DNA sequence: GTCTATACCTCGATAGAC
DNA sequence: GTCTATCGAGGTATAGAC
């Protein structure tokens, strides 16, 4: 990559095969460190060590910690929302739609346990960054979800519920347990064994609770 | 407070009327700043400004940022769990118990919007600190909750559910919407008006969804 | 107990040789 | 593109007068 565009806006990242290999390597390392330590807690030196490159390289490719953090944030959000897309296909029945969303969420949290906690934490301190990113990454989420919901309500499959209520319900049920896992574990006094059993059974359990909660009165 | 015990372990904080007024003032300021900025993002100077005292006073009373952060964390957790206690009384019917818990949670989030996000964020980076604090602050949460649950299940009021499943369900439904509010808002494409309407109606809505989800099949 | 001044250090960022 | 060396800001913490 030529020097004059070595610091592209993070929103303009080219497709993978067009990006310098070293750049991807640094981004991967930064991803791991920022997710572990949080943006403020992370150190550029630690990211450099994790990427096995010199600290100067970080600035060469991303100019500043701020920009590097933004690139990592964008990628984390993209990764999160990418998981939802398959469930959104219009011909999937509502029950399966709910199940697919829950399964996708849980799979993501198994693959990337820090991801949701990181996003929530960043959201907490940089709310303005969030809005902008979502608009960019997931512009038409509303339409697909709303269509699904309208059809299910019209068919009498579920009780009337707004898109916002439904989304909050679903996201809360699937995202929170892993994020606040420690809190709930301690609060309910669960042992490691009980918690593992809960995690293993949560897929069926969540689908059940959600569908039961939504069924017409 | 005499000099020789000006730096007590944060777990040994004396009752309010025994604590130096300046100390409480600093703790209050630190609470506000740490919750806004996160522990790593917070600056001692900003806390001093917020408390209208000299930066040296922070070190005089709490010796280090680390200890001050620990004191703030303990207090935040204590504040959170204190809200649950009234609902735990044994003679409250199950429906009211659920409603009281939800109302208490939501009231807390209205009073202290940053509290849950802060705790989750800290939990994320200092998991070891958490376990210890819970054991100290809320040692018998399990017994009271389990008794409630057993009675309701035995009476056929709700479907069989473990304490861990129930707690996760309840906490997820009440804590998450405020914490991840921005996420859900953006995802569902809600306007400010829709979101406010949702917040206003969420008490009835959550109680309804929870009780409906829990009712026997 | 409260202030000023400052020591000491870590970190992000840059300069400049190669 | 990659290295070494270093700058300078800003951070925590402390010394010491009052």
Burial B2-32 (b: 16+ CB within 10 A, else e): eeeeeebebeebeeeeeeeeebebbbebbbb
Chain B residues with CB-CB distance to A165 below 8 A: 198, 205
From CA A172, how far away is CA B95, in angstroms rounded? 21
Chain A residues with CB-CB distance to B209 below 8 A: 169, 213-214
* Among the listed residues B199, B36, B64, B48, the one whose alpha carbon sits nearest the alpha carbon of residue B121: B36
Q: What is residue A14's predicted lDDT score, i.e. its pLDDT?
A: 44
Q: Tell me the pLDDT of chain B averaged across its residues.
A: 83
Most confident of A108-117, A128-137, B69-78: B69-78
* Contact (Cβ atoms closer than 8 angstroms) between residue B61 and residue B26: yes
Chain B residues with CB-CB distance to A160 below 8 A: none
pLDDT band at B14 (very low <50, low <70, confident <90, very high): very low
Pick A47 or A167 by higher pLDDT.
A47
Asked if A168 lies within 8 A of B176 by C-beta distance, the reply is yes
A91's tokens: 């011909």
The reply to whether A49 Cβ lies less than 7 angstroms from strand D is no
Compute the average pLDDT of residues B183-204. 82
- For chain A positions 52-71, those within 8 Å of chain B (CB to CB) are none
Residue count of chain A, please give it.
217
SS3 A90: coil
* Among the listed residues A55, A66, A4, A5, the one whose alpha carbon sits nearest the alpha carbon of residue A26: A55
- For chain A positions 88-117, those within 8 Å of chain B (CB to CB) are 114, 117
From CA B19, how far away is CA A87, in angstroms rounded? 56
Q: Does B172 touch chain A (CB under 8 A)?
A: yes
pLDDT at B106 over 90: no
Q: What is residue B184's predicted lDDT score, i.e. its pLDDT?
A: 75
B161's tokens: 């559910």
Compute the average pLDDT of residues A44-58. 98
Burial B100-127 (b: 16+ CB within 10 A, else e): bbbbbbbebbeebebbbbbbbbbbbbee
DSSP B8: -
Q: In which element (H, E) is residue B113 found?
A: none
Burial B183-193 (b: 16+ CB within 10 A, else e): bbbbbbbbeee
From CA B183, how far away is CA A179, in angstroms rounded? 14
Tokens 């807690």 -> residue = A41
Distances B143 to A135, A182, A190 between C-alpha atoms, Å: 46, 18, 12
DSSP A112: -
pLDDT at A180 over 80: no
Q: What is residue B199's predicted lDDT score, i.e. its pLDDT?
A: 84
* Contact (Cβ atoms closer than 8 angstroms) between residue A156 and residue A102: no
* Contact (Cβ atoms closer than 8 angstroms) between residue B108 and residue B115: yes
* Among the listed residues A88, A140, A39, the one whose alpha carbon sits nearest the alpha carbon of residue B187: A140
CA-to-C1' distance for A135 and C16, Å? 42
Query: For residue range B152-174, what is the model confidence (pLDDT) as tens digits?
Result: 999 999 999 988 888 888 878 77
* Contact (Cβ atoms closer than 8 angstroms) between residue A138 and residue B197: no
């Amino acid at each position: 990559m030529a020097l004059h565009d070595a610091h592209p806006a993070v929103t303009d990242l080219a497709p993978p095969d067009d990006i310098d290999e070293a750049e991807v390597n640094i981004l991967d390392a930064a991803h791991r460190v920022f997710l572990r330590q949080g943006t403020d807690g992370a150190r550029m030196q630690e990211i450099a060590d994790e990427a096995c490159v010199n600290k100067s390289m970080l600035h060469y490719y991303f100019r500043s910690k701020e920009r590097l953090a933004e690139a990592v944030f964008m990628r984390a959000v993209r990764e999160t929302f990418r998981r939802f897309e398959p469930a959104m296909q219009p011909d999937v029945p509502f029950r399966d739609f709910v199940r697919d969303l829950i399964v996708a969420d849980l799979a993501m949290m198994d693959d990337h346990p820090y991801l949701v906690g990181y996003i929530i934490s960043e959201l907490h301190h940089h709310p303005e960054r969030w809005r902008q990113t979502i608009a960019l990454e997931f512009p038409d989420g509303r339409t697909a979800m709303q269509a699904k919901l309208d059809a299910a309500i019209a068919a009498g499959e579920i009780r009337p519920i707004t898109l916002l209520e439904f989304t909050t319900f679903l996201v809360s049920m699937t995202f929170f347990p892993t994020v606040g896992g420690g809190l709930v574990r301690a609060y309910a006094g669960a042992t490691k064994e009980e918690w593992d059993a809960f995690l293993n059974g949560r897929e069926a359990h969540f689908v059940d609770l959600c569908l039961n909660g939504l069924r017409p009165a």
